[in-house]
Structure 1
Amino acid sequence: MTKILVTARRVKAAGAQFLRGGGYKPRTSPYAFQGHGESALELLALAREATGLGIITEVMDTADLDKVAKVADIIQIGARNMQNFSLLKKVGATGKPVLLKRGLAATIEDWFMSEDNPNVILCERGIRTFDRQYTRNTLDISAIRKSYR
């Protein structure tokens, strides 16, 4: 049994409804591991078939969108691509839900997509601060909207 199936079964047993896995892994260095690509998408599809979990995975390039959209129930846009407007437009046009991670320098207004896709999950991952010792990112409390009265 593959590691992804073991993981997916544990995730399902813990009560989750989705499995988030990256076939394409953006890195700061072009020499670092970049993911397994299309073969990883096949493994994620196998995990969904075996467990019934929905799949969330990232797309980094419009050239890979069709392959990713066939497997993903929710398409993730990483922080590095949240201002890649050609990618955002094409992903928005799929009609699939989108998990949009906020980039480190992005304003709240930058955090929204076009193409009339109302199915956007905003992922606040924090902002960069001067504290390098204890935290990588600090939660931006101003991003939380008060929706109660």
Structure 2
Amino acid sequence: ERGIRTFEDYTRNTLDLSAVAIVKAESHCPIVVDPSQGCGKASLVCSMCRGAVAMGADALLIEVHPNPAEAMSDAAQQIDLDGFAALMDELRPIAESAGREL
């Protein structure tokens, strides 16, 4: 799930986390969520990751850069290394509560 373009322009795309649960129920395929592209705002990436893991995503595609402001592309949606490390610490118990691990 990478989000879809809608009339709403606050975010780059609209990331539909219900799609994770629906595809998990209807398919044997693993589900990868890309919250960086899905919302296009670094300030939302961590929240969307937490939701995706809670919904059962099998993998996350997260844009990470040592200095997002200097990234050659998509700077607005990248998190820095410290933010990524903190995010992993936040996601671990969410995954464990669903019987999964990171």
| TM-score where L is the length of structure 2 | 0.42
| TM-score where L is the length of structure 1 | 0.32
Task: Judging by fraction of residues, say which structure has more strand.
Answer: 1
Bigger CA radius of gyration: 1
Higher relative contact order (CA 8 A, sep 6+): 2
